[in-house]
Chains A and B, each alone.
Chain A
Amino acid sequence: MWRMASESRRSQLLRGVLDLCLLAVMAEGPAYGYEMTRRLRDRGLAIVGEGSIYPLLGRLERDGLVETYRAASEGGPPRKYYRPSDAGRLALALGVSEWRAARDAVDAVLAPVEVEVAT
């Protein structure tokens, strides 16, 4: 029960910033869909249970926050690569600023709480 509630909270938290995370990993270098999830996973951010990234990538594309092009992948078929547009870089900068402000405010509230987890 507690584990389910915890996963639900994590899912909700991630849902609010997943677009920023995608913009951030593609800002490191153009990437196709699975490559983005790999980069996120390498940082400990598994997408399991969050739904697919494809609708979100579609929304970013529709809103003009990413540019796309097709190119051959290493030893594989041509893939659709994504990279942030100028508007996407601006959205990323603003979003990161908002995230940090929110994170600091929440930290200020939660910092005094002593956490004890029974093992």
Chain B
Amino acid sequence: MSEFVEQCRREWRRLGVPHPLAEEMAADLSSDLNDAEAEGVSAHEFLGSSYLDPRSFAASWAAERGIVPEQPGRERNRRGRPVLVAFTAIAALTLIVAALLLATGEPKLTIRTSRPPDALAPLPPKIGGQVVSTSAAAPVEWILLVLAIAALAFAAWLWSSWGRSRPAAA
């Protein structure tokens, strides 16, 4: 029994729990365990599954009291999730928009790049008295589609990594 309390003390020391608070928790725990023993209740019965893992028990207690900083991994995961959700939503929306634009017929968005004047190039042909300048047109829909697919693949990889690194629920 006292060994269980000692292991908790060591864990609190390792986590940087202020000494007075650690001693307070250890004293309360020790007194409660003594009460339980006096009534014929074993430490295992009193503490349940926590009895088998004093380090997790001590860490969980200190964390729930808010006297140790949250584990960096948990904090990062908590902050990262909304960003990942937003990124995935934007990628999916882009994919849908690009698919709709492509499905509705001729591409309506183009990147028009005027060719720079070239002194050696032949003059542009005249049609109906007007000069028709040549240009290169790229369908933005296809570019959006490719980018959206790439972004979604990246998001899937991030979700997979996030799921693997997420700590088990207490």
Contact = CB atoms under 8 A, between A and B. Distances in A.
Is B truly associated with A? yes
Given A59-B64, A62-B66, A54 B29 contact: yes
A51 B49 contact: yes
A33 B66 contact: no
A59 B31 CA distance: 21
Contacts of A107: none
Contact of A34 (B25, B35, B50): B35
A32 B32 contact: yes
A38 B28 CA distance: 15
B170 interface: yes
A54 B47 CA distance: 9
B48 interface: yes
Interface string A34-61: 1001100000000111111011101101
A34 B64 contact: no
Nearest to B42: A48
Interface residues of B, number: 25
Interface in A50-102: 50-52, 54-56, 58-59, 61-62, 73, 76-77, 79-80
Given A33-B28, A34-B36, A77-B31, A48 B64 contact: no
Interface residues of A, number: 23
Nearest to A59: B64
B24 interface: yes
A79 B31 contact: yes
A58 B50 CA distance: 15
B165 interface: no
B64 A49 contact: no
A109 B16 CA distance: 50
Interface in B47-101: 47-50, 57, 60-66
17 contacts: A32-B28, A33-B28, A33-B32, A34-B32, A34-B46, A47-B48, A51-B47, A51-B50, A52-B46, A54-B57, A55-B60, A55-B170, A58-B66, A61-B65, A76-B35, A79-B28, A80-B24
Q: Which 8 A-B pairs have the closest CB atoms?
A: A58-B65, A58-B64, A34-B32, A55-B64, A59-B64, A52-B50, A62-B66, A34-B35
Given A54-B25, A77-B31, A79-B31, 17 more contacts: A32-B31, A33-B29, A33-B32, A34-B46, A38-B39, A47-B46, A49-B49, A51-B47, A52-B48, A52-B57, A55-B61, A55-B64, A56-B64, A58-B62, A73-B31, A79-B28, A80-B28
Interface of A: 32-34, 37-38, 47-52, 54-56, 58-59, 61-62, 73, 76-77, 79-80
